[in-house]
Amino acid sequence: MKATVGLLALATVLATGCGPARRGVPFGPPLQLTERQQRGQVLFMRECNGCHPGAAGGLGPGIANKPLPGFAMRTQIRKGVGAMPAFTEQMLSDEEVDAIVDYLNALQETPGPL
Ligand code: HEC
């Protein structure tokens, strides 16, 4: 009996997770990312997630929910805007910036909860 209750509790935790109730990455089917987008995701987690957690709003604004054209995001990353620092070519290569933009576009194309 005790074991059943324990298992039930474990199943509940596994099913609902223990993360925050609302996250920026869209709900729904898991993201189907290309290899480049996956690379972008890793880079995003390393370079951007601190201020744009889950691409939702944090210190910086949410960026998964707006249809910013790629060139605007590239400029934003290279030049920085307001409180956001610029990322130089020593920090991120062009190819890496492209991968991040590609990843963010994938987030935008995925229907969100709203
Ligand atoms: C030190 C914190 C910080 C880091 C790191 C950071 N950002 Fe930002 N980001 C901001 C802030 C703050 C703004 C809002 C700037 C403003 O408009 O004054 C912003 C704005 C943006 C915008 C524009 C959003 C809009 O509403 O126009 C994009 C796109 C963006 N960031 C992408 C990125 C990407 C991609 C990375 C990683 C390469 C990154 N940011 C790293 C703080 C950060």
pLDDT bracket for residue 95 (50, 70, 90): very high
The two tokens of residue 71 are: 């060139």
**33-45, pLDDT tens digit by residue?**
999 999 999 999 9
Residue identifier of the C-alpha nearest atom 41 of ligand 1: 48
Which fold is adopted by the domain 2-109?
A: Cytochrome Bc1 Complex; Chain D, domain 2 (1.10.760)
- In DSSP notation, 55-66 reads GSSSSSPP-SSS
**Domains in the chain: boundaries:** 2-109
Query: On the CB side of 10, how many CA atoms lie within 13 Å of its CA?
Result: 6
Residue identifier of the C-alpha nearest atom 29 of ligand 1: 73
Centre of ligand 1 from the C-alpha of residue 27, in Å: 22
Residue identifier of the C-alpha nearest atom 19 of ligand 1: 60
What region, left, alpha or beta, does residue 57 occupy, with left being phi > 0 and alpha being psi -120 to 50 degrees?
Answer: beta
Residues 6+ apart with CB under 8 A from 46: none
Does the CB atom of residue 105 touch ligand 1 within 6 A? no
**17-72, pLDDT tens digit by residue?**
555 555 566 556 677 899 999 999 999 999 999 898 888 777 777 777 667 788 88
